[in-house]
Every structure is written in structure tokens, then in C-alpha cells.
Structure 1
Amino acid sequence: MSPLPDLSGTRVWVMAKGYRPDEGGMQTYAQGVAEAYARTGAAVTVFTQTSAGPRHERLHGAAGTTIDLVDIGAGKSPLVPVRFVQALRRERARAGAPHFIHATTWRTSIPPMLLGLPYVTTFHGREFMYARGPMLALMRRVARRARGFLAVSHYSAMRLAERLGSALPPALVAWNGLSEEPDPAAPAPVKYSAAHSGTALVFALCRLEPRKNIAGAVRACAAAKAQGLAFRFVIGGRGPELERLRTLVRELGLEDRVEVAGFLPTARVNELYRAADIFLHPQIEVDGGRDFEGFGIAIADAMATGTAVVAGLDGGTRELIEDGVHGFCVNGRDQAAIDAALIRLLADPALRESLGAAARQHTLAEFTWDRHVGRIFERFPVT
């Protein structure tokens, strides 16, 4: 991949579904690409809506980068696209037209499309699977009018082609980066088992919904406990499955091993990532295959800390892991397969360490936002 170009003196706009302080995969994606664009020297403006808006402020990032944030405020009224169009017009009048626009979802492409501004669009996963009727026609129009579009995995690109039809060119595939830029020179974290007499820490972090299949992870813990294996499992995240999981833990008699923690502050999330021996994420596709994992940033984050991963085969996540080299990929609908993978890792510390070390090396090389943005510039140069 070519190095990032020097874009000093250019203006890059990023259209985002959300941004900090709000949390979620789309927010992580928007922040990752915006900060990568800023590292090229470009003047970056992010247009978004968050719970902290409306606001217009300058954000300071690592390595002296800055990002201008135009936040129109939360809300889902039909006037939201109009408010975005007005914000873009004001910024164009103030600072001039952008040289490059990256819309981080297909819906955020609508305002620049309405203004006749060129843009590239990212398609992730489930957000393009549910459009139908007029919305599907609008999504296809967004793709046709774009300078180009990309997908975050080969699996997402394949499913996107099914939705867009054969008349459009295939999507550029560019894997995501991580939630936070790691220091490749930093030593690998010391794992929980090294400091707790061999007791392993198992971690899961996600939105707690059926697609994530954390119930399958909890049942695997019951199988591991029956084998007499020592472990602790912490489940982080919010969502509709939260109380069901807490009930399942009680029913299986796992209160002494499993903590369904709910929302976790960033400091504790980072601590758990560094300490975890195993990251357990046996995700599946649901709703007839419409709802799937496009990439899996949380899984990549775990791999970057040298954690052995057990992940589901469904969706784009399989592209992160070479089975048996960086972790284990299992059929998330096969409870015995999840059980066996977890039990094998709990029983074999040397295997955990080997898989985790390989995962860390692989992730730091392949899953970076600079690499993601570099792929975009190779295909769609700034004009």
C-alpha cells in the first residue's frame, strides 16, 4: 500500500451517523477515519449529530491533529437531511468547497448528493440489508451518484452486490482499524492468568442483542465449569439481551464465575482488554441473514492486545482470524463447538499465548485506519 499522501491545504469533509461522546461501531468508524484524514495534514470537518449537540467546536487528537466538528444535535425528524444540507452550505460559504467527502454510511451520503457534491460512501453490514421499496431505490441512487463506494469486508461486499445489482461496479474492500491507535513498540500486556494463579479471564464486549450470541458464550462457561476449569467471565455492553443474560447466569448457577456488567467506562474496558486471556464472541446471522456482523472492531481490539479469540463464522469476522493461527472460528449455532473451543483454550495456557501473540502481530499490521484511508486514496485520489 502506498503511504498516505500529504494533503496539506486541502479540505476533507466526513459525514457521520454519530461521533463522540456517543458510543457504538459507527461512531468508532467515523472517529477512526476522521483522525486518519487529519494525519495527512488536511483540514477535516466532521458533520454529525450527537446527544451533546448542537455545537460547533474544534477537537484535538493525537500527534497534534485537529478536527472541526459540526454537530446538528440529536433527533430523527424528517427535517434532519435539511439541517445537514444547511450546515454543509454554511461551511462551504465560510471555508470553501471540500476537495474530498467521505460519507461513513449510505444515508449520510444524501446531503452531499442533494448539493451535487462528489463523495465516496462506506457500506458496513446490516444498515444496507433492510432498505426496501423507495428506500432501496434511494440507496441505489446514492451508490450510482458516488465517486465510488467501499465495504469493510469481502463478505459485506458480496452481500452489498446482491442488494445493488450487477449494473454497479464492485465495492472497494478496506478493513477497519481499531477503536484506539495502539503503540506497536509497547510490550504485550500481562494477562490475568499470569497474576491470578492460572485463573483465566474471559471477556466479551458488544451490544447485547441476539446476533452477538452471548447466551451461547454463557452456556459454554457452564460446560467449562463442569470440567473443573478455573476462569472468570466479564460481559460488557448494553442492549435488549441484558436482563435475559443475567437470568441465564442465575439459572446455570454461574454467579460465582460470570459478571454481566452492563455498560463499562472506557478505562475499565481498556483494562479488561489488556488483561483478558480469551475474548469470546460466537456471533451468528439472524433475521434470515439480513442482520450480520460486517467486520467486528471489538474482536480486532481484543486481538491487538494479544488475546486469544473465539469468534463466530458468520459475517465478515471470519476475515480477521485464520482459524487455529490467530484464534478459533466456530459455528455459533453449534453449542458443542463453542464449548469445545473455550474448554480447549482454558485448559491450554501455552496455546492461548501462542494464538494471542500471532493475533497481535497480525492485527497491528493489517487493521489500521491509516491503511483503511490509504486504500481509499489509492482508488479515489483527491482531486
Structure 2
Amino acid sequence: MSQSSILVIAKAIPPFIGGIEAYSAEIASAYVQCGLRVTLLTPEACIVPGVDGRLNRSPQGAKAAPQWIALVKILASLWHLRKKEWSWVHATSWRMALPVLLMGTGRRLVISVHGREVTGQQGLMARLAGWVLRKARLIVYVSEATRREVHHYFPELVTASSVVAWNGTSFSESRPAGEVSANLRDPLRILTVARLVKRKNLAFAVAAVAKLSSEITRPVSYVITGTGAEREAVARAIRDAGVLNGEIKLAGYVSDGELQCLYRDADIFFHPQSSAHDASDVEGFGISIVDAMSHGVPVVCGKDGGPSEYISHGENGFLVGGLDLGEAVDCLSLLASNQALRQRIGEAGRSFVREHMSWPNHVSKVLKELAAH
């Protein structure tokens, strides 16, 4: 069958917040850019993207349906679409593949795996996740680290057809190449963009920035954006830090426009993620890290998970241990004191992302693998 049409099934797309939600919208648009006819199915809508891949997205303030309600809604929509023929059906998470299998139409099923949504399952849910993934024609992993972790928890998937395809970026770059902060009297602007969950290691990040602030003469402005269950823990870490030479701000949710301004103005992006608290909770990819690199912002991030695949230490970013405060502060201090280094590392990161990371590249790898099978 010709690869001319594809059904993408997702629990939600932006403005719902989350990596899988953003991923779902991006790959639907990218399939259009690759010349396919696309239908994007969510519990709330059946969307046919425009010829440019643009989506009519959910209104701001809408709430995502609980998981079981979302599955029922998807199943109902699939029933109405049962007479349509699709070259492939791409479920952006294993749960969204369940309705496809219940309809008995899983022979051309593609499932994306991001990490925690699979490796974090236990008991019956783990067995169900493994069963669903074994039914897929192709499993798409967002990094080799994710594939390795999934194979550790589900050895039976080692022989399943799969491909590793890196994600793209969320924005076009908005900062001109070579533009970095040169006035040492201005605050050193450090930025973190992340969901406020344990894996992101944000209390550690606050402690590292506070220590940096006490060791350098330049004032430090540190902004953490995002929402999540660890908000109070992060706020407490900020209160306990007692920063002497600058400020640490927990900004919460920010709009895309505000976020682009933060990337544009940042001197350093800091994302010291760690799986030390939970071996099953590994950073699968790290889109915000790649977004920072695409803006030419030098990155200091954790060694664990997917980022170690695309960051070469000292070349296009810095990798640090998520428990080694001294190592993190040393890397931050090195960048803080050396404008030329910030520019060199930032531009190397930008060039790497331009060459290797885009959503059309992601779906092209998927389509190439499907054609081979």
C-alpha cells in the first residue's frame, strides 16, 4: 500500500502542557510537510491539518480528559472512521494505541515511546504496555537511551522492529548568531525550562546557582519556568538558598512568546536532570535542551538519558553529574567568566541542531523504516 495517508492519534496537543502533547502536534505537521495526507485524532477533535501543516489547536484553558475517558472518546471516533483506509496509524503513546488494537486494525500500527510512560509502569499496567508494544509494526524511540531502558524492562521487545529518531525543536531560533551578553555589569542570566518533577533535579539546580552566585562578583538572575508536582519543593529550595548576589525566580507557566524572549536573552541554559532518585525515570530526550541549543544558548545539563547522545562535553555543551554540585558549579562558573567560550559553545550547539534535529527528519526516518518493512 502506498504511504499516502496517515492517522495520528494523541491524547492531547498544545496548549496542553507536556512533551508528548508537543510531540504529537509536531509530528502531525511534519507528516504534512513530507507530503502525506494526515488526520490528527484527539479525544476532543478530529483535525485535518492545512497544507502547511498548521493545526487548529484546543482553546487555552481547556482541560485534558482523564485517561480512561480519553480512550473511550478515541474508540468512539475510530468507530465512526472505521471505513476509512490509512497507510499507517501512528499512536504517539502506547495508551493511545489501545483503541486501535480493540478495533482490530493494528496491523499497520506505529507507536512512539518517550520513556517514563512505559518504564514507569508496574504490575498489570506494565504487562499491558508490553503487550501493546509487541503488537506494533514499528516502535519509534526518541533516543537510544530510551530504547535501552525499555529493553531493560521489557526484554521481549529487543527483537521488535524499531527505529531511533531524534525530536525536532519547538521554535525557530530568535537570537541572531553570535549575540551574547557582553556587559559584565548586567546580571548573568541563567534559564531552566522544565516540568517541575523529581527527574529534573531542580532543587540541585537551585543549590548550584546559589553557590555560583556566592563565588562570582557578577549578579546572577536565574529563572525556572514550568509547572508540576514539585513546585513547592522547588520554592522551598529557593527560600533555603538565601542567594546573596542576585535572584532566583520560579516563573511558572509562560506563553510561547515569553519563552522565546527568555531563550533569546539567556546566557546559560541549565538542566541538570538525574535518574538517581528513580532508575526507571530517565530523561528520554530533553526538547527544552535542544530548544536552547537552537537559540545559540550554551547548555549545562545532566549526563543521564538522551542528552548525552547529542551533547559532546566541552564541544557543543557541558554534561554534569546530577549529584556532583562542585562539577555543576565549575561548568557554570567557566561559562560565566568567559564570553568567548559561551559564544563558541552556543554556536556549536546551534549548528548541531540545525544539521541533525528537525521534525521532518524525525518522520522521514519513520517512513524510511516503514518502507523497509
Q: Measure, in 2, the Cα distance between the counterparts of 1:76 and 1:249.
A: 32
* Aligned equivalent of 1:221, options 181, 195, 209: 209
1:79–1:355: structure 2 CA closer, same or farther, 3 Å change rule? closer
CA deviation after TM superposition for structure 1 residue 209, in Å: 1.8
CA deviation after TM superposition for structure 1 residue 375, in Å: 0.7
Partner of 1:302, secondary structure, is: helix
Amino acid at match of 1:269: L
* Aligned equivalent of 1:177, options 157, 168, 182: 168
Q: Is the 2:30–2:53 Cα contact (8 Å) retained in structure 1?
A: no
Q: Is the 1:56–1:70 Cα contact (8 Å) retained in structure 2?
A: no
**1:38 and 2:24 equivalent?**
no
Q: Which residue of 2 aligns with 1:3?
A: none
Q: Measure, in 2, the Cα distance between the counterparts of 1:38 and 1:344.
A: 43
Count of residue pairs the alignment pairs up: 365
* Aligned equivalent of 1:321, options 307, 311, 315: 311
Q: Which residue of 2 aligns with 1:206?
A: 194
Q: Measure, in 1, the Cα distance between the counterparts of 2:229 and 2:66.
A: 21
Q: Which residue of 2 aligns with 1:188?
A: 177
CA deviation after TM superposition for structure 1 residue 87, in Å: 0.3
1:35–1:218: structure 2 CA closer, same or farther, 3 Å change rule? same
Q: Is the 1:55–1:73 Cα contact (8 Å) retained in structure 2?
A: no
- Deviation per CA, 1:98-123: give whole Å up to 9, x if none: 11111111111111112222211111
Q: Measure, in 2, the Cα distance between the counterparts of 1:217 and 1:334.
A: 11
1:202–1:90: structure 2 CA closer, same or farther, 3 Å change rule? same
Q: Which runs of 5+ in 1 are unaligned?
A: 1-5
Amino acid at match of 1:178: T
Q: Which residue of 1 aligns with 2:322?
A: 332
Alpha-carbon RMSD across the aligned residues, in angstroms, is 2.6
- Deviation per CA, 1:241-260: give whole Å up to 9, x if none: 22332333233222842111
**1:243 and 2:232 equivalent?**
yes
Amino acid at match of 1:105: S
What is the TM-score with the length of structure 1 in the denominator? 0.87
Partner of 2:371, secondary structure, is: coil
CA deviation after TM superposition for structure 1 residue 56, in Å: 4.5
Amino acid at match of 1:16: A
Q: Which residue of 1 aligns with 2:111?
A: 121
Q: Is the 1:45–1:70 Cα contact (8 Å) retained in structure 2?
A: no
Q: Measure, in 1, the Cα distance between the counterparts of 2:184 and 2:82.
A: 57
Q: Which residue of 2 aligns with 1:297?
A: 287
1:73–1:324: structure 2 CA closer, same or farther, 3 Å change rule? closer
**1:344 and 2:344 equivalent?**
no
Amino acid at match of 1:31: A
- Deviation per CA, 1:306-329: give whole Å up to 9, x if none: 011000011112112000001110
Q: Measure, in 1, the Cα distance between the counterparts of 2:172 and 2:10.
A: 20
Amino acid at match of 2:98: I
**1:234 and 2:228 equivalent?**
no
What is the TM-score with the length of structure 2 in the denominator? 0.90
1:288–1:258: structure 2 CA closer, same or farther, 3 Å change rule? closer
* Aligned equivalent of 2:366, options 376, 380, 383: 376
* Aligned equivalent of 1:97, options 75, 80, 85: 85
Q: Measure, in 2, the Cα distance between the counterparts of 1:371 and 1:137.
A: 32
Q: Is the 2:316–2:346 Cα contact (8 Å) retained in structure 1?
A: yes
CA deviation after TM superposition for structure 1 residue 279, in Å: 0.2
1:168–1:241: structure 2 CA closer, same or farther, 3 Å change rule? closer
